[in-house]
Structure 1
Amino acid sequence: MIPSTNYSNACEEKIGNRPTDNEYFTYKKRPFAGPSYQKLSNFLEQQNTDVAEDTNDYYQIIHNSFLLELMKQTICVSCKSKWNGDMSVAKREGLYCSLVFTCHCSNEIKINTSKQCPKTSKRDINIRSAIGANFAGISHQGLVKLCGVLNVPPPIGDDHFSRTITHILPVFESHKLNSMKNAIEEACSESNKRELTVSGDGTWQKRGFSSLHEVVEIMSTGSSTKVLGLERLSKSCSICTGALSIKHSNPTKYEEIKNKHKCEITHSGSSSSMETEGIYHLFSRSVRMYNVQYIK
């Protein structure tokens, strides 16, 4: 949406008298709120993680030239004179890099731009970027385009991106199950029984009745609607489809891939029947998984 002329003029009046030589900007810090923050807080509490906010625990995008300007305002610990040197990248891995500031006296200062995640060699910023790309629905290619527009280095490669998602998937699966289990217990406490009235809905990857993928969910109908169950249905498998390219040229490898991979196909009927089948699966396993019965 393009702002009106009056709004633009008002903005210009507010910032018109501010100095521009140092790229002067201000912003008001917005506190986290809403359902997403509550879910994150609950997850951190379950993991015995301190939810208390560290005011410096976030990323800031900054141009390299400003880093150099900052360094030039410091005193070198080696030569005891004003720092004067250059900056270089010793190592880069996706959005993470190791910077080296070298003074004219050859003294070096090294700094990492992202911390390393515990019990893994992966960097925090690369994991967060992979999660964000999936949450936003842009995947790896969309993340590459976004980084290009922002004039920042490209993210981790496609293969590394896929391995990162595979690495963190069990954590999200565990949190998903715990979240839905808690939602079911809340619904049971509100209704004072283990038989719940629920509503179901489905969403296709694309409109119409030709989609190859769908997600079906069951939701509570109490005062606070929450997701109680999810079922993903798919009529295609990316690995099976990719393996077809070597079916005739390398039949042995083709059979090996077919037999060893976990096929993503979970539905063999029509696309229009996905929602019905998904809800049936959710109803049929509710007693076994959560000791609760969906009655309608």
Structure 2
Amino acid sequence: MKRRADRPKKRVFQGNKQVTASKQPRLDVSITCSKPDSIESTEKSSVQHVDNNTPRARKSKTKPTSGPSFIENSASFTKIKQEDVDFDIDNELTGFRFVDIQRLITFVQSLLCPHCKKELGANKRLSHVKEEKITQASTLTFTCQCQQTVEFCSSGKVGKVYEVNRRFPLAILAIGKNKKGAQRFLGNMNMPPPPAPKSWQNHKRQILKQTRCVADNSIRKAAQELRGEVTDEENDKLTDVTVSVDGTWHRRGFSSKHGIVTTLSVNGKNGKVIDTETLSNYCDSCAKHKNKLGVDEFELWKAAHVRKGLCNKNHTGSAGSMEPVGAETTFRRPSELHKLRYVRYLGDGDSKSYARVRDAGIYEGVDIEKLECCGHVQKRMMRQLTNKVTDLKNTKFQHNGKIVKGIGGGSGLKKAGILKIQGHYGAAMRQNVGNLQAMRNAIGAIFEHRNKEHRNCGTWCLDKKQNGQDPDQNSLPPYVMDSIRPVFETLSDDSLLEKCVHGGTQNTNESSGIVVQKQTSVAVPA
């Protein structure tokens, strides 16, 4: 079914904005000159040539924006910037480039040696070039005819590791690929092969370590925002908050071996992640060793494997049971970590996770309240009206002296009309947040409008606009209205609307799940 042009797009999850990472430190690519027995790759070189006649980079035709004010005031910018990736747009000489190694060697050999003042490659017999490869990083040593050396390193170091060697696995993992994908990319680019399996796993562990550190800081700050300013006397007290919980899986369906449950705050339009729980019913190392070792040997190995905390399997059961288990785990943690108490649960109507959290007795003497996602409730209107049309397609009705079959043909209820009613139903909930009576009246006005009664309609009604158009042009025959009346009565019941009066949705949860899936679109152990 095509999306209506006037229907707004879902908000894209932008992450916990208060912890946006700063730009990476600028690392200079340097050319160093020294004697053969003392080479320091991090010193700045005296062999630096800048050609002022080199044409500048072509400027973009897009006018620069005004920075933060543009981000705050433009929804379009938020939608465009779906990937939080910073690019250097200031024409600064930073970052990494794809460089043809032969062209680089030719250029460096045309430079003058700082000792003999002759070109480094002037004498083909006495001068030569030696390359030392460390995965994607290369160190080129140019030997002049005077036997002095000039060294060029393609990457700076971050600690003991070359930056490009750490960034390359990070980039591959960030686009949802693994080592095999990296190998295919480098092979097609005619570049050095990726790190060895052991080095690749080490890079992944270091990236995971730093990612967890950033995530923990982000979650901690998001939790502090929920608590707000508290005094020293209130510091030990728990703050009651509303959260939205949803799960996503590594693969579609219920055959996935890995899943993640995300808990987001519900405070305004932009919820923030305040907890996550990753669950897996599979361990790649265990599967491999089980095939190699005997039963007794495997049991001994697995006991040591689990004791060291290296086993990835932390869930026993189906993929469908991961979300309820993860929800209960996240509900038990916040009182100890963040001094929060999740007393209101925002989720879809048939959530098994809420039933598990409710029956777990997590907070003594406190019942966890169930809130409905307005987006899911809005979908019920379309689903129930569609089902009603399908159920009555063979039922005959009397209309204007004629026999009419079903309520979906002729002047009856069609797909376009169902979508409009669904949209009006969602708007009635979101435009009357916090006011149950006004929400009920607005939903009732939708039914009355289709029944040619406009006294309770809002400003959206053509009868209120008084522009000469027929306000009854979208009305439905009486037999159709009588058939869909039970749907409106069910979806305007106080017991349901009381759970929707908050106006919140799970869209942010679902968007964050899409972000996770984009970066885990391949087998996790690879």
Is the shorter-chain TM-score for this pair beyond 0.5, marking a shared fold?
Answer: yes
Query: C-alpha separation between the residues in 1 aligned to 2:194 and 2:138?
Result: 11
2:120 touches 2:142 (CA, 8 Å); kept in 1? no
Query: C-alpha separation between the residues in 2 aligned to 1:94 and 1:255?
Result: 37
Query: C-alpha separation between the residues in 1 aligned to 2:301 and 2:59?
Result: 53
Aligned to 2:215: 176
Matched, 1:143 2:182: yes
Q: CA deviation at 1:112?
A: 1.8
Q: How does 1:123-134 map to 2 (within 5 A)?
A: 123-134=162-173
Query: C-alpha separation between the residues in 1 aligned to 2:327 and 2:154?
Result: 46
Query: C-alpha separation between the residues in 2 aligned to 1:256 and 1:113?
Result: 46
Q: CA deviation at 1:230?
A: 0.8
Q: Report the TM-score when normalising by structure 1.
A: 0.75
Query: C-alpha separation between the residues in 1 aligned to 2:96 and 2:317?
Result: 47
Distance 1:230 1:28, change over 3 A: farther
Distance 1:282 1:36, change over 3 A: same
Q: CA deviation at 1:25?
A: 9.3
Distance 1:187 1:107, change over 3 A: same
Distance 1:200 1:145, change over 3 A: same
Distance 1:61 1:86, change over 3 A: farther
Kindly tell me the number of residue pairs found equivalent between the two proteins.
Answer: 254
Q: CA deviation at 1:68?
A: 2.4
Aligned to 1:95: 136
Matched, 1:226 2:272: yes
The residue type equivalent to 1:267 in the other structure is H
Distance 1:25 1:285, change over 3 A: same
After superposition, the C-alpha distances for 1:9-49 in whole angstroms (9 at most, x for unaligned) are: xxxxxxxxxxxxxxx994558999968769x9xxxxxxxxx
Structure 1 gap segments, 5+ residues each: 1-23, 41-52
Query: C-alpha separation between the residues in 1 aligned to 2:288 and 2:133?
Result: 31
Q: Report the identity percentage.
A: 25
Q: CA deviation at 1:242?
A: 1.1
Higher relative contact order (CA 8 A, sep 6+): 2
- Determine helix, strand or coil for the equivalent of 1:92: strand
Q: CA deviation at 1:240?
A: 0.9
Distance 1:272 1:37, change over 3 A: closer
Matched, 1:115 2:156: yes
Q: Report the TM-score when normalising by structure 2.
A: 0.44
Query: C-alpha separation between the residues in 1 aligned to 2:328 and 2:286?
Result: 27
Matched, 1:59 2:91: no
Q: How does 1:158-237 map to 2 (within 5 A)?
A: 158-189=197-228, 194-223=239-268, 224-237=270-283
Q: CA deviation at 1:283?
A: 0.9
1:203 touches 1:214 (CA, 8 Å); kept in 2? yes
Distance 1:286 1:27, change over 3 A: farther
Matched, 1:241 2:287: yes
Q: CA deviation at 1:57?
A: 3.6
Query: C-alpha separation between the residues in 2 aligned to 1:28 and 1:189?
Result: 45
Matched, 1:285 2:333: yes
Aligned to 1:154: 193
- Determine helix, strand or coil for the equivalent of 1:217: strand
Query: C-alpha separation between the residues in 2 aligned to 1:116 and 1:104?
Result: 30
- Determine helix, strand or coil for the equivalent of 2:312: coil
Q: 1:269 aligns with which of 317, 339, 342?
A: 317
After superposition, the C-alpha distances for 1:225-282 in whole angstroms (9 at most, x for unaligned) are: 211111101111111101112222x954x34431222322111122111111111111
- Determine helix, strand or coil for the equivalent of 1:197: strand
After superposition, the C-alpha distances for 1:135-192 in whole angstroms (9 at most, x for unaligned) are: 21102111111222222211211211101222343322222111111011123339xx
Structure of larger gyration radius: 2
Query: C-alpha separation between the residues in 2 aligned to 1:195 and 1:284?
Result: 14
Query: C-alpha separation between the residues in 2 aligned to 1:181 and 1:54?
Result: 36
The residue type equivalent to 2:112 in the other structure is I
CA RMSD of superposed structures (Å): 3.1
Query: C-alpha separation between the residues in 2 aligned to 1:108 and 1:36?
Result: 44
More helix per residue: 1 or 2?
A: 1
Distance 1:106 1:26, change over 3 A: same
Aligned to 1:44: none
Query: C-alpha separation between the residues in 2 aligned to 1:28 and 1:147?
Result: 30
Matched, 1:78 2:115: yes
1:68 touches 1:86 (CA, 8 Å); kept in 2? no
- Determine helix, strand or coil for the equivalent of 1:265: coil
Query: C-alpha separation between the residues in 2 aligned to 1:167 and 1:54?
Result: 31
The residue type equivalent to 1:291 in the other structure is K
Query: C-alpha separation between the residues in 1 aligned to 2:185 and 2:58?
Result: 23
Distance 1:293 1:36, change over 3 A: farther
Query: C-alpha separation between the residues in 2 aligned to 1:131 and 1:286?
Result: 30
The residue type equivalent to 1:69 in the other structure is T
Query: C-alpha separation between the residues in 2 aligned to 1:135 and 1:234?
Result: 20
2:135 touches 2:194 (CA, 8 Å); kept in 1? yes
